[in-house]
Structure 1
Amino acid sequence: MATQRLAQRLHGIAPTIFSEMSALAVRTQSVNLGQGFPDVDGPPEVIARAVQALEGGHNQYAPGVGVPALRHAVARHQQRHYGIELDPDSEVVVTTGATEGIAAALLGLVDPGDEIVVLEPYYDSYVAMIQMAGGVRRPVTLRAPDFRLDVDELRAAVTDRTRYVLLNSPHNPTGTVLTRAELQAVADVAVERDLVVITDEVYEHLVYDVEHVPISTLPGMAERTLTLSSAGKSYSFTGWKVGWATGPRELVQAVLAAKQWLTFTSGSPLQPAVAHALDDEPDYPARLAAELRERRDLLCAGLAKVGLEVRVPEGTYFATTDVGGLGWPDGMAFCLALPERAGVVAIPSQVFHDDADAGRHLVRWAFCKQPEIIEEGLRRLAAAQLHA
């Protein structure tokens, strides 16, 4: 019965779309511009540090809160980039990727019936974890074609039962980076209504021609903000699943309290390597962002050339197109037909929405691939019949 209740609670959530579309790419030998993982590893020296740790006996449980070297490196990272001062012993916890950080934050903080304001479209784990925690999501939709925050809609979403804002900037899947003014609007609401902000900043360094502003740096927000990030995106080690949560002691302790029943601890030999990345390879994310900017421009120009309406993203790995003018009933139908028609895989953005109309004809494309892979995908699209 408990299994049935959980299944009912999670009914309608479709995170498996990524594995399904990637499997479809393999089966049809398609170019995979769907799932967001890079096809080149991060700095070799960081990998060498992981090998040293493996061979040096760092293969047993790490402390649940994370090894001291990484916690201190995370604190230095926050201070160096944003001027945020943290106690590495009480205000930093290492997580098994930002996804576990999201899960632990929601399970550790949310009581059944609590409302959580969350930006729609959602990163796929948000819906599942809010439901598993017994929370109630209150969506605020970033709408095409600009995907900007509607402050009036934000204020209207907050009720007497609202306890949290789950923020994501740079935003997956739209690529929007919230401006300082938009973040200030969120901060104003959080302070006025005494809300805690859980902010997913996993793409913090992958921004293009704009500034990423951590909301915790705004007045009145440090004491009410739990910040989540990881090394996966910034250092191209998505498979390592090493992330962190930072913020006030009581919020970090809530994450740790839930984490001990999820993974308990995270990969011991990987943590010293990530500490090395943060301390000794601080310029790598900027170099990666410069490369991704070129790939973004390559992909977006090519998608526009084949007749798709493209929104050029300000951050992340992803660009969004509107396929409504091609005659398809929705993005799902387009994406399911695309591998056979063009030998290319993309992701229908409607799986990230509650509002079926808002995301119906939107499709997400990943540009965290080598230029020759993107070019091959574009060649295939140009040669295909994309209209329904």
Structure 2
Amino acid sequence: MLQSKLPDIGTTIFTVMSRLAQDHHAINLGQGFPDFDPDPALCRLVTQAMADGHNQYPHMTGIPALRRAIASKVQALYGRSYDFDTEITVTSGATEALMAAVMAVVGQGDEVVVLEPCYDSYLPAIRLAGGTPITIALRAPTVEDPRFRVDWQRVRDAITPRTRLIMMNFPHNPTGIILQDNDLDALERIVRDTGVLLLSDEPYEHIVFDGQSHRSLATRPLLSDHTFVISSFGKTYHATGWKVGYCCAPKAMTAELRKIHQFMVFTVSSPMQFALAQYMSDPQPYLGLSRFYQAKRDRLVQGLATSRFQVLPSPGTFFLMADYREISGENEADFSRRLTIEHGVTVIPVSAFYREPDAPQSNHSLVRFCFAKKESTLDAAIEKLKKV
């Protein structure tokens, strides 16, 4: 008889809500992908790469030109010099890098501290590696302080001799919060005291608003010496379906990650890698990404200001949370389904990012909107939301 390794895992909320949107012809502001295409110049580079014969297996670790380009970008932005040959790996999206990193360093009986709400692949990855997730909830918004925040003392208190890894994601999905210098200071103290390893999931590194900057864990030597830093070309170049990401980590950690990577996917699409390596020679597409998405964020914020939704601050990512307490007392999942079915706009319940989504402490009357959409899509959704 088949025994499931993940008996309590079903279809993800993102798939469920996107299917519901399709069934009810709703505007999908739920799942986090653009409804517009990548730069045509980037697509032409893929076509050219195929015409040039780059159609067979590339290097297991990623083509050298792309790894060099990644090393150059990280050095310029964050001051950390990674060796392109031994410390950078091109992966099948950030999600594969997450799984490979966890499988590389977490074993039976190890504990992994996770900040929640969190991306839905974190907990299954830990369990598949034989580890035990220890979830630490972010401090929820209040009227006086309408942002989620990390309680670093709670994180420190959760670390035991069995703790192997802390997993984190900033800019944070779904809350949009970003790290400040005092957060990095607190994290440095934890690493200095415990020697714990870190996994920093940074796919929204180039989407930070209002003149703020992204504080990558790669910016601090002590942190980067203990960290798998993971990012995504899909989020940066509007090509989530290409599934190309990368991981930067010290040599010994990279060697262990590559042992897993080579047997999970072996390598990543060849023409995409050659195209991305060429496209990265111009930094403007990622340097201008914050401005591009801030205009979309502001458009949605201004539109929701005329509705009964109460918008929370979104300093990063292409997501925005809103409080619906003035509209309904339903839990987040039920409200999100009803919003799709009755009002034609699909969102994601923030409770879906918690270990126990149905628990009262996981429900704060919040839903997540994705604004990585065309202006016409956002405007049509706003008109519907005004009527809720």
TM-score normalised per structure 1: 0.94
Cα distance in 1 between the residues matched to 2:261 and 2:222: 27
- Report the residue type matching 1:357 in the other structure: P
Change over 3 Å in CA distance of 1:202–1:14 after alignment to 2: farther
Cα distance in 1 between the residues matched to 2:139 and 2:374: 30
- Report the residue type matching 1:101 in the other structure: A
Q: What SS does the aligned partner of 2:222 have?
A: coil
1:60 is matched with which residue? 56
How many residue pairs get aligned? The number is: 379
Q: Answer with 179-188 or 83-92: which moved more.
A: 179-188
- Report the residue type matching 1:25 in the other structure: A
Change over 3 Å in CA distance of 1:71–1:249 after alignment to 2: same
Cα distance in 2 between the residues matched to 1:368 and 1:348: 17
1:188 is matched with which residue? 189
Is 1:373 paired with 2:370? no
Q: How big is the shift at 1:159? A: 1.5
Q: Answer with 37-46 or 106-115: which moved more.
A: 37-46
Is 1:253 paired with 2:252? no
Identity %, equivalent residues:
39
- Report the residue type matching 2:100 in the other structure: A
1:85 is matched with which residue? 81
1:175 is matched with which residue? 176
Is 1:216 paired with 2:218? yes
Task: Name the structure with the higher helix share.
Answer: 1
1:236 is matched with which residue? 238
Q: What SS does the aligned partner of 1:4 have?
A: coil
1:359 is matched with which residue? 362
Q: How big is the shift at 1:199? A: 0.6
Deviations 1:232-260 (A, max 9, x none): 11111111111111120111111111111
Cα distance in 2 between the residues matched to 1:34 and 1:159: 37
Q: What SS does the aligned partner of 2:289 have?
A: helix
Cα distance in 1 between the residues matched to 2:326 and 2:3: 41
Deviations 1:2-40 (A, max 9, x none): x423132xx1x4552111211111221111110111122
1:4 is matched with which residue? 3
Deviations 1:100-134 (A, max 9, x none): 00010011111111111111001111111111111
Cα distance in 2 between the residues matched to 1:291 and 1:66: 29
Cα distance in 1 between the residues matched to 2:309 and 2:75: 42
Change over 3 Å in CA distance of 1:276–1:80 after alignment to 2: same
Q: What SS does the aligned partner of 2:235 have?
A: helix
2:343 is matched with which residue? 342
Cα distance in 1 between the residues matched to 2:289 and 2:222: 33
Unaligned runs of 5+ in 1: none
Q: What SS does the aligned partner of 2:121 have?
A: helix
Cα distance in 1 between the residues matched to 2:55 and 2:63: 12
2:100 is matched with which residue? 104
Deviations 1:284-321 (A, max 9, x none): 12323212111111212322321112212111111112
2:140 is matched with which residue? 144
Deviations 1:158-199 (A, max 9, x none): 122111111111111110111111122112102210111111
Q: Answer with 190-199 or 134-143: which moved more.
A: 134-143
Report the RMSD for the aligned CA atoms in angstroms: 1.5
1:323 is matched with which residue? 324
The question of whether the paired residues in 1 share the 8 Å contact of 2:234 and 2:244 is answered with yes
The question of whether the paired residues in 2 share the 8 Å contact of 1:112 and 1:133 is answered with yes
TM-score normalised per structure 2: 0.94
- Structure 1 runs of 4+ aligned residues shifted over 6 Å read none
